[in-house]
Structure 1
Amino acid sequence: MNRSTLSIQSRFESIWLDAEFVSKCGKKLDLPIIANERCGSWYVSPENLADSCYFKSTDGHNENLLYGDTLDVKDFLPPDDILSAEEAEAIKSAIPAIIDDAKQLHLDIPKLRTLLTRPIRPIFIDPSTALPTTNALSRQSHHTIACLMASNAHSAPLTAPSSSYLPGAGDDEDNWSLSLTPAQFWTHQPSLRSAASTSPAAVTETITTIIKTPETSPRSLKPATIDHTHLTIGTTALHAAPKVLQLLDPFDVIIVCNDDPGLSASQHRLVARGVEPNLIEMGLKDGKLGARVLRKRLHLVEKALMKVEARMPRILVTCSTGRDLSVGVALAIWCLFYDRGDAFIRGGTVPKAEITKVYIRERLASLTMSKPDASPSRATLQSVHAYLMPKEDGKKEERVEEWLGGVEEAKEKAKKQGETLGRFLIGSGASV
């Protein structure tokens, strides 16, 4: 794959082509489109988006399986043209363990059963498969879920130059998006298309302009409160949206994740509506850089919340997107300062020794139920895990140090062997 295929221009063109296929599927099958916030939102324009979900984009990669199904294992019949026999068998054998993992999340299964009155039947579609007719999707005996792969992994669409088409162009956005979000990508589609037809420099310049403009779409201005708590997640655009804020109760604590000099003290007070809040400015950059620094700044949040006197404080956490850093901070707060009954712990925290990966995963799963468009990056979640489970992080650092020590030892050994070989070659008169 040449460098031009990996350019942001090629990514945009490939995403737009794949989005046309997704839109076509939604209309042909007459099904609502739900995007995976980890990467799927790039392929769905807002007018076609019914809702969002969240799962790791690596869950379905070969030898990294995390599939679940409400059907009996014997009923799992993936198509031969999408999965190899080995992968299908691996998925079947993994399902019982996955069901056990799901039970540990303490999901409200009785409630889900009232919503899913019929069994689920998945169908698998990619651009190389023929779309089933709506008659074939009988909904009398089961709920149909179309698992859709937007990209053509085998060949470029007929409307795309094969030399520039990039399958999965929306994957790993941290590595190429320059902090542009899917919502901004679709809102500013005309200007991005114009720039993409010009030059890479024009694309970069356009993105730089876009990300400096706060998102003001209805979706970006709609805050989400985690069920049974007063812990709210939103975007920094909320700080300058008085009409939206008038509908909210004043906040006791406001946590601003991003380093945003454009937010004035008066705008922070506007959020609190006359109540002097405890304002915590974390000063984080967008993207991986901010996510990695997050673990070093979470102590500011913990220290401030330890002093809160309200029995159930109203806490607002914001970041530029309302989907990444703010979600990570809210997750950390929920794990540390709320007990199993979701009561706020005043003057203390849940002991970190009691916080496990399963506990964090359970809370994240519940959080995404309250905020379906949550999309914390891998780096953000790593920072949260490192802060909440310092012993595990310390063990990881020890393993890294041990590995680095082994590398250095190997280098030193190779160096000595090289010096010995050099002396031998010079002594024997050989030419090197």
Structure 2
Amino acid sequence: MPRPLQESDLIFAPAASSLKTALGELKRSHLSITNRLQSIKQDAEFVLQVSHAYDLPLVANERCGSWYIPPDRKAGSAYFKSTDGHFGEWAFSLRRLNLQVLDVLGQYGGCIIVDSTRRGKSMPDALSKTIPIWIAVLNRLLFPQKPGYHGLRTPPDVVSLSEHAQIESRIPEFVRSLRDLDLDVGKLRSTMAAPMLPVWITPGCALNHSSITGTPDHSLVVLATASNCMSGESHSVSNYVQGAADDSESWALGLGPALFWANNALLMTAPESELPALIEEIVAESVKVTSLRLPTQVKPADSLWIANNAMAETVYADFDIVICCSVTVNTMLMTALQSSYVHLACSNGKNGSRQLRTELPKLRILASKISQSSRILVTCETGKDLAVGVALAILCTLNSSDGRLRLDSTDEVPDFVSKTLIKHRLSWIMVSMPDAAPSRATLQSVNAYLMG
């Protein structure tokens, strides 16, 4: 009996290899930086059309949402993870409360949250499930007297009835978890006058909203997918890349949304062959301008502020104790503050988060230095990651439930520290500083220090 026909019978090995190479080069050509930037610009034009149609401000769902919004049109940022909407993994993040969005809703009566997704999906899970979960949970917590807005709303063409039902069954559990943080519900409720109502917009949708506006009964949350899942043939840009801004670390060569918009005209007209060198030059120039992050007070604590390392040299005189997470000691701060300067030797990124685990015990010295009027500043390179972890450790060990420093503190981690307490204190930081971004590794280091 003859053997089945094999691919090798039809294509010689060298030809097959050449075909594979050619297809790889074609794919890389399609995903070129030029095609990505042009696609982002086209998607941004759609986003502006949505903003005009609804007459609402734009909020970027980071990390990629800011690529699609000109900085002068951006009203804020949110941090909703698609992974919290993945099938079977549905979650309400107590680490990313996103309560800053409520301020925008209270000011404008609604907003448009912008995100994108790569090829193969019509919208990201963050828009179809993560944010709807967040809306349902907060509506129940803040507006218990309006049960008409307590139900989960998801886009029926994206989320099946079965998945919708499974998610909705978890909402009461999420509400209990949020309530356990003991947030100031009255204050949050005063931020916005009405519960939230989500609607979804994707490229190709008719921008006709007359049937869902014009009522004071709800705050409209438009969930706009910037990228188009249709074929490139329907676009004015022949080499359209869906979700072009996603995973920018792998293709943008250090370019970020702010630099993209600041140098838009130059980038959009440069030949592909010149783009890498141009981007390198733009990024290098931006690095010379060190950004300063003003100290943010962690309320209700009256003793603790968070900033970045670059800011520490400017404001150190306003604080009694300065704790810096950095690779090397800052000799100027050490000379000026002497024993009131605490250096935690941590590099940037995941390595720094792991190093934090062995550096946190240095905080034990604080118990003998604090008074009720002490002002403590914590810094790291960004002011968003390691410094947040250090601040969390301080809040759990040195601050009482009303935020005041505990003068009976010892150099040991108190017995009353628990997972619930850690979540509660972390919520203080996330409410005070919505763009805080402690990595999972950072929080694991803090948990290891506090829980043993």
Check if 1:332 corresponds to 2:393. yes
| 8 Å contact from structure 2 (residues 364, 410) kept in 1 | no
Q: Deviations over 1:192-236 (max 9, x none)?
A: 6688944685377447625743443xxx53321111322111122
| Separation in structure 2 between the aligned mates of residue 359 and residue 285 of structure 1, nearest angstrom | 28
The separation in 1 between residues aligned to 2:294 and 2:261, in whole angstroms, is 18
Tell me how far apart the structure 2 counterparts of residues 345 and 360 of structure 1 sit (CA, whole Å). 16
SS of match in other structure, 1:52? strand
Unaligned 5+ segments in structure 1 are 391-432
Query: Quick one: structure 1 residues 331 and 309, their matched pair in 2 at CA, closer, same or farther if it must change by over 3 Å?
Result: closer
Q: Distance in 1 between matches of 2:286 and 2:354?
A: 20
SS of 2:318 mapped into structure 1: coil
Amino acid at match of 2:235: L
Is 1:320 paired with 2:381? yes
User: In the alignment, is the contact (CA less than 8 A) between 1:11 and 1:170 conserved in 2?
Assistant: no
Quote the residue 2:437 is aligned against.
375
Q: 343-352 or 103-112: which moved more? A: 343-352
Deviation track 1:1-60 (CA, whole Å, cap 9, x = no partner) reads 956677777665655554444343333322222334555444444322223344444212
Alignment partners' CA distance in 1, 2:372 and 2:349: 34
Structure-to-structure mapping, 1:10-409, within 5 angstroms: 15-37=40-62, 39-66=64-91, 67-68=133-134, 69=136, 70=139, 72=147, 75-133=151-209, 136-153=212-229, 158-162=235-239, 165-167=241-243, 169-171=245-247, 183=258, 186=261, 197-198=272-273, 202=277, 205-206=280-281, 209=284, 212-216=287-291, 220-229=292-301, 230-239=303-312, 242=314, 245=315, 250-259=318-327, 265-266=331-332, 268=333, 278-300=340-362, 302-346=363-407, 347-348=409-410, 351=413, 354-390=416-452
**Residues 288, 226 of structure 1: alpha-carbon distance in 2 compared, 3 angstrom cutoff:** same
Indicate how the Cα distance of structure 1 residues 127 and 78 shifts in structure 2: closer, same or farther if over 3 A, else same: same
Unaligned runs of 5+ in 2: 1-23, 92-132, 141-146
| Alpha-carbon contact 1:42-1:170 (below 8 Å) kept | no
In structure 2, what is the Cα distance between the partners aligned to 1:233 and 1:201? 36
Distance 1:335 1:142, change over 3 A: same
- % same residue: 35
Matched AA of 2:288: T
How far the C-alpha of 1:103 sits from its partner, in A, is: 0.8
In 1, Cα distance between equivalents of 2:165 and 2:218: 24
Alpha-carbon spacing, 1:165–1:340, altered in 2? closer, same or farther (3 Å): same
Which moved further from structure 2: 367-376 or 47-56? Answer: 47-56
- Give the whole-Å Cα distance in 1 for the aligned partners of 2:341 and 2:266: 37
Report the secondary structure of 1:64's partner residue: coil
* Structure 2 residue identity aligned to 1:235: N
Quick check: 67-76 or 323-332, which moved more?
67-76
2 CA distance for matches of 1:14 and 1:304?
A: 53
Q: What SS class does the counterpart of residue 136 from structure 1 fall into?
A: coil
What CA distance in whole angstroms lies between the structure 2 residues aligned with 1:192 and 1:123? 34
How far, CA to CA, are the matches of 1:76 and 1:344 in structure 2? 41
CA RMSD, Structure 1 to Structure 2 (Å): 3.7
Counterpart amino acid of residue 55 in structure 2: D
Q: Distance in 2 between matches of 1:160 and 1:188?
A: 20
Question: Structure 1 residues 129, 96: CA separation in 2 closer, same or farther (over 3 Å shift)?
Answer: farther
Aligned partners of 1:4 and 1:294: how far apart in 2?
Answer: 42
Shift of 1:87: 2.6
Distance 1:179 1:312 in 2: 42
| 1:333 Cα deviation from its structure 2 partner | 2.0
Quote the Cα distance in structure 1 between the aligned partners of 2:287 and 2:255: 10
Q: CA deviation at 1:284?
A: 2.6
Q: Note closer, same or farther for the CA distance 1:109–1:74 as it changes in structure 2 (3 Å cut).
A: closer
Deviation at 1:252, TM superposition (A): 1.5
The code of the aligned residue for 2:188 comes to L
Q: 1:374 to 1:181 in 2, by over 3 A?
A: farther
* Whole-angstrom CA distance in 1 between matches of 2:328 and 2:253: 17
CA contact (8 A) 1:179 1:287 kept: no
CA contact (8 A) 2:153 2:198 kept: no
User: Is the Cα–Cα contact under 8 Å of residues 365 and 411 in structure 2 kept in the other structure?
Assistant: no
Q: Which amino acid aligns with 1:24?
A: Q
Q: What is the CA–CA distance in structure 1 between the aligned matches of 2:259 and 2:419, rounded to whole Å?
A: 33
Partner Cα separation in structure 2 for residue 335 and residue 207 of structure 1 = 42
TM-score using structure 1 length: 0.71
Task: Indicate the SS of the match to 1:379.
Answer: helix
- Which whole-Å CA distance do the structure 2 matches of 1:305 and 1:9 have between them? 53
Q: Structure 1's 74 and 114: CA in aligned 2 closer, same or farther, altered over 3 A?
A: closer
TM-score (norm 2): 0.69
Asked if the contact 1:269–1:275 (Cα under 8 Å) also holds between the matched residues in 2, the reply is yes
